[in-house]
Structure 1
């Protein structure tokens, strides 16, 4: 380096010592504050979720809090309970506590336990339904009358066919409008067959079974695959269930010990000729002895008053309404109405008939009901 360069080069300034910031407790306090805040939020959130869960459980839990609704005012100590049987008779509902069978049994229990209730009017407007559900309601009515001595009067609305008549049969008396659709005494069991459709779309079903009859009514087998033995098994089952129905009609209509002989009508000798699944009007059913009187709900109530020894038009009419199942409503709205694309095949036949569960027997008139 030359003398000139040394003269022009600026001197290097000495570095100033850097002072390290003194640690402060403020940072630790911030960290602790954040930690306890988050912990509190987690605890509060857990408590909130637990409270919500308990509240939901209480809403979903079965309850006996039926509400008594006064349908018509009258004498407090002279009451008649109205028990509705409306729509498809089924053991399914929003929840096990909210199905038709459970509700009707509970309403009959409430009527049995209330000494002020002297009679029950079963208001039916139904095309029928499941065999087992119809039979359970029938048995509940039989037991109620036997245990309490209180009469049950059936009042048929616009329709009381098949299973609707089944539940009316044990009632002490049956009142129908002359235009009521009733009858349809019989059993039906259906199975939809997809074999032809599967052939068209190139789909085959592979089945493993323990016995030759295990896949009877399978929708994947060709119809001609149903053997004569299988047809006989199914027909014997249907015939046996039908005989049960016919026996219920005879038991309810012919045993005068459980009915009021003053108002009751007897079955005609050839009534079974009309119990072939055909529908009947209320007027035709009266001629056959399948109902006792023509009239509306008011006529059935007056008949109940007469049998129970209550002055006409003075009874207080009550109805026991089931509690609202909030969780059942949530479950209902939680179900997706639109299945994933490609998961279903819908065939439009131009009508929307009732959906019968394949392989399940029904006391129902399916042509009388559309969804």
Structure 2
């Protein structure tokens, strides 16, 4: 209990008021001598806490329950999630080559101030260094310290009834002097250093000590505002003007504190779509670079139309080839192939081809899933795998799996009958009789 009290009283907190009231109420009952049942440690979705999950190349990182800098033996049972634990899971996810994006799944009313700003900056740094998208969804609560973490994401979703905000700082001081007097207790602190026992609970809080605590809160509040304003690209005044209000659903979008409303599944689908589009852009960039390297000499005209079967579009020749002198006119010998190419048309053709290929790859992936083979269509597109090649690969994997299952299958219980000889076949005997008559 002394450990828990030290984390609650006399220290700045980034936590929503309703959650703080619940915690203080429970702790006060404990201090009063009530016996409170301690639940068994749990790390399931129904409880608080959770483990990193990877779904179709997207790492889902849970940020649940009350947030603290370091958890202890009471962490799992009391629903605490530590900033160090979140950072370790994030580093694991961004370093995993199979992970292409990270989604923060947040359901927390906040917690301790110490360490949260460093964690938010670390998450943004990991995303930028790895080049992998970092998204977040408030499902159902991302308040105070939890919102500071959510702001590190490139895009913040929230469910229809979710709450975000509470951008503020709070500290609690408890005055036990009246209760001490009723109990016949009188505390005397012997100390060196004028501020050594500032804010102790066995006397009313002096005005000078209250001013010092308030100054510390204001400094943390300024840091909180700067962090949110920088990550959300909003003026600091707009964040300060929220006055730590809590915003739900559409109101959060209007305040600029979130980007989109949707379910967890919808957020994952949208993130997968962005990954596929990024893969397509990457492929177009590589194709353009390769095309530029293969530009034909000036004396050789380039075809205007690009075949959909071509692996690399042909870059048009320099416009100087196609220009005539000011006083001359085009001759009949000049064919449409020698005219300058329309770069917009080329880009449109390439994009059309990529969309068609992605659609085919996605359809093959759906068919493969029914065969028990996992396929990532966006990754296949980025690697330049053609639909035919992917289809053959899926069939081969499915066949190999079926053969393996046949090999380990149990032999039948009853022995099989001896195979019939070819000479005993009725067809063979009939053929022999017919030949004898001829």
TM range (shorter): 0.5 to 0.7
CA contact (8 A) 2:120 2:148 kept: yes
Q: CA deviation at 1:151?
A: 1.2
1:244 aligned partner = 223
Give the ranges of 4+ consecutive aligned residues of structure 1 lying more than 3 Å apart after TM superposition.
Answer: 66-70, 94-99, 266-271, 310-316
Counterparts in 2 of 1:125 and 1:68: CA distance versus 1, 3 Å: closer
Secondary structure of residue in 1 paired with 2:157: strand
Mapping for residues 123-272 of structure 1, pairs under 5 Å: 123-223=105-205, 226-227=206-207, 229-254=208-233, 270-272=238-240
Gaps of 5+ in 1: 1-65, 255-265, 317-371
1:292 aligned partner = 259
Counterparts in 2 of 1:248 and 1:269: CA distance versus 1, 3 Å: closer
Residues 144-196 of structure 1: CA deviation (Å, up to 9, x unaligned)? 11210111101101111111111011110100123112211100110211101
User: Partners of 1:101 and 1:308 in 2: how far apart?
Assistant: 28
Mapping for residues 83-162 of structure 1, pairs under 5 Å: 83-94=61-72, 100-162=82-144
Residues 16-64 of structure 1: CA deviation (Å, up to 9, x unaligned)? xxxxxxxxxxxxxxxxxxxxxxxxxxxxxxxxxxxxxxxxxxxxxxxxx
Number of residue pairs matched by the alignment: 230
User: Partners of 1:284 and 1:109 in 2: how far apart?
Assistant: 33
Q: Higher helix proportion, which one?
A: 2
1:81 aligned partner = 59
Counterparts in 2 of 1:111 and 1:94: CA distance versus 1, 3 Å: same
1:10 aligned partner = none
Counterparts in 2 of 1:121 and 1:67: CA distance versus 1, 3 Å: closer
CA contact (8 A) 2:117 2:227 kept: no
1:334 aligned partner = none
TM-score scaled to structure 2, two decimals?
A: 0.48
Q: CA deviation at 1:239?
A: 0.3
Secondary structure of residue in 1 paired with 2:186: coil
User: Partners of 2:148 and 2:123 in 1: how far apart?
Assistant: 11
Q: Higher strand proportion, which one?
A: 1
Gaps of 5+ in 2: 1-49, 278-357, 366-374, 377-438
User: Partners of 2:52 and 2:157 in 1: how far apart?
Assistant: 25
User: Partners of 2:167 and 2:51 in 1: how far apart?
Assistant: 35
TM-score scaled to structure 1, two decimals?
A: 0.56
